[in-house]
Structures are given as C-alpha cells and as structure tokens.
Amino acid sequence: YIGYEVVAGHAYNEAEYAQRLTAYYGEHAAAVQAHYPAGDYSSPSTALGTALSDFGPMIPLANCTFLRFGRDMAKHTQVFQYEFADRNAPPVMEDPGIELGAVHSAELPYFFPGFSNRSVWDGPPLAGASASLGADMIAYWASFARTGVPSAPGRPQWPAYTQENAVLRLDAGRLELFDAGSAHQCAFWRSLYPQWL
C-alpha cells in the first residue's frame, strides 16, 4: 500500500513516518519505531512498508497475520503455508522508487502467463529462474489439487504447517523451508498484540 502512495507522489520523511506509526499502532508506536528505525532502511517509506508488511492491526495482508491464520486453520485441516519471495517478479505497479519485495498479487503471472494487474493481458513473459519457479509452483498446486498434498518432482518436500520456522519460501532459484516467524519479527509483534497473534 505504501508503494501506491509513493507512486501517487507522497514520499515519507522521518516525522511523517512517526506520525503514520502512531496512526497505525497507537500506544505501541514508539516500540515499533524503535524496532523498525527509519535509518535502518533505504527510506522512511520502506521502513513503514516493512513494518506494515510484517504486522498491522486491522491489516489482513500481513505476514504474521498469515502465520496466525495458518496456525488456527491447522487445528481443523491440513495447511500448507508458503511465502512467495521472487523479487524479480514482473511489477504490479509503476516503479515507486522504493523496494517493494514480492508484493501481494506478484505471484499471479507465475500461474497465468501474461497477467499484468491491468485490464489488458499484456504482462511480460517470465524468464530464467523466475520461469522455472513458475513451473515448480504449478507442479505444487496441481499436485495439491489432485492429491491434497503439494509436491513437485525433484523439489523440496512441502510439509503440512505446524510451526513458523518451517514455511516453504518460493524464490527464484531457491526453494527452501525458512523461519517465517523470525524473518517477520512475529515474536516482537506478539509481545505487543498477543490477542491478535
């Protein structure tokens, strides 16, 4: 979401970063700012985007929230948790000039060649390691549709989700289990929002 604001012409400075943290996190804003200091990032916009991507109350598209949902659903059915992480994915918006990472919906061209997040089907073809990742993702999803268990020949086993440190990371040239909870600072967020996480 921050990327869309930057594309629209808004660049956050450190004072605005602090103001937005207060708007999102209220009484916890100072703790969040200490944990995500703007100086540790290439810009205050990137710092804000990183914090909100890790967790934001009332923001359903956040990594620690996904892990919580997975944990809750795993009480009732098998869950296969993953994180799409190809930073070379085709862009979903005009380049905002800040690091976006692998944003929400960036994975869609891996399943639907030519998908571009626009009203026309004009996305660029995947190339190299990204094209291979697309083939692997299709194999995992097709296996899941056929058998209820995602698997891809010659690729890492994708275990049912039981813990935050064994999530499948889908990255070009590198498929592996990783510690998603640590990567997204979920222990920190749980200390502030135990009722949410």
Q: Tell the burial category of 8 from Cβ atoms under 10 Å away from its Cβ (0-12, 13-18, 19+).
A: exposed
Tokens representing residue 180 in the block: 């998603």
Q: Per-residue pLDDT averaged across 174-184, rounded?
A: 97
Q: What share of the chain is helix, strand, coil (3-state, %, to 5)?
A: 45, 5, 50
Burial label for 186, CB within 10 Å (0-12, 13-18, 19+), is: buried
Provide the pLDDT confidence category of residue 87 given band limits of 50, 70 and 90: confident
What is the rounded distance in angstroms from the CA atom of residue 180 to the CA atom of residue 168? 9
Pairing of strands 82-84, 167-171: parallel
Indicate if the pLDDT at residue 15 is higher than 90. yes
Compute the average pLDDT of residues 108-130: 90
Own/partner long-range contacts of 108-115 (Cβ < 8 Å, ≥24 apart): 109/134, 110/84, 110/86, 110/134, 110/137, 110/138, 111/137, 111/138, 111/141
Distance between CA atoms of residues 58 and 72, nearest Å: 18
Which of these, 62, 67, 69, lies nearest to 166 by C-alpha position?
Answer: 67
Average pLDDT score over the chain: 93
Per-position b or e across 121-152, b if 16+ CB within 10 A of its CB? eebeebeeebeebbebbebbeebeeeeeebeb
**175 DSSP assignment:** E
Angle, helices 44-54 vs 14-25, to 10°: value is 20
Reported as a pLDDT band with limits 50, 70 and 90, residue 79 is very high
| 92: pLDDT strictly greater than 80 | no
The DSSP bridge partners found for residue 124 are none
Q: Does position 41 have pLDDT exceeding 80, yes or no?
A: yes
